[in-house]
Structure 1
Amino acid sequence: MVLQNTIKTAAQTLNQNSQVDVGSQKGVDVQIPRFDKNLEEFYSICDQIELHLKTSIKCLTQQESSNRYLLLPVAPTRSESLSINDNTLTYPQFLATASAQVSYTKEIHDTLVAAAQNISPSD
């Protein structure tokens, strides 16, 4: 719809300008919506689509990593009182595992930053 409005506005503007150039029309009789506003809205929607696609790709990548590195499925409920198979993580166990992984990753990052600073001290 936005693309149609943008193209329609461009065509109207082009037609009106050509009529003025040919001399069949003296000036602007009808105010045509501004082409740059429609084009800006079109690009804004394109940017939103791009962000949604990038987010979707990151979600898929996260799901693949989760399947690869967390070999046990996670129970869909938060409660531990349900009888769950031994080969299923409860939600609190999953949170503890994810927290431990984040902490470990932060430690590795901090160690690498410290090592880089020791190798080339800043002036």
Structure 2
Amino acid sequence: MIYIILYICRKGVDVQIPRFDKNLEEFYSICDQIELHLKTSLKCLTQQESSQKYLNLPVAPTKTESLGLNDNTLTYPQFLATATAQVAYTKEIHDTLVAAAQNISPSD
């Protein structure tokens, strides 16, 4: 391989030898992307486990109402309504805790 590069350089053709620092930077960039994908996968698995724990009914994969669904399946609109209610309830609890903390601590 070295002989080919030397031969090409003697003929007057410029050959760009890859720089180590650029390749190392690209390697670390790819490693960062892999790390982000793994973190996202872990969060998705955690969310799926929580979903199965707290909402143990399967959700229909289509947005429209389907007549062939059994009673143990949530439609997508029902799932959205449930998730919206859970978020609203969580926000209400958070606001209540913040108000209680402000009442306990003396304000300056």
> Same-fold call, TM > 0.5?
yes
Q: Partner amino acid for 1:73?
A: P
Instruction: Name the CA distance, whole Å, in 2 between partners of 1:46 and 1:63.
Output: 26
Cα distance, 1:52 vs. partner? 0.3
Return the TM-score normalized by structure 1.
0.64
RMSD: 2.2
Instruction: Name the CA distance, whole Å, in 2 between partners of 1:56 and 1:85.
Output: 30
Instruction: Name the CA distance, whole Å, in 1 between partners of 2:46 and 2:26.
Output: 30
State the partner residue of 1:104: 89
Structure with the greater relative contact order (CA < 8 A, sep ≥ 6): 1 or 2?
A: 1
Match status 1:91 vs 2:76: yes
Q: Partner amino acid for 2:60?
A: A
Q: Aligned residues: percent identity? A: 89
Aligned residues: 94
Task: Mark the runs of 5 or more structure 2 residues left unpaired by the alignment.
Answer: 1-14
Match status 1:82 vs 2:58: no
Q: Partner amino acid for 1:96?
A: A
Cα distance, 1:32 vs. partner? 4.4
Return the TM-score normalized by structure 2.
0.72
State the partner residue of 1:51: 36
Task: Mark the runs of 5 or more structure 1 residues left unpaired by the alignment.
Answer: 1-29
Cα distance, 1:120 vs. partner? 3.3
State the partner residue of 1:64: 49
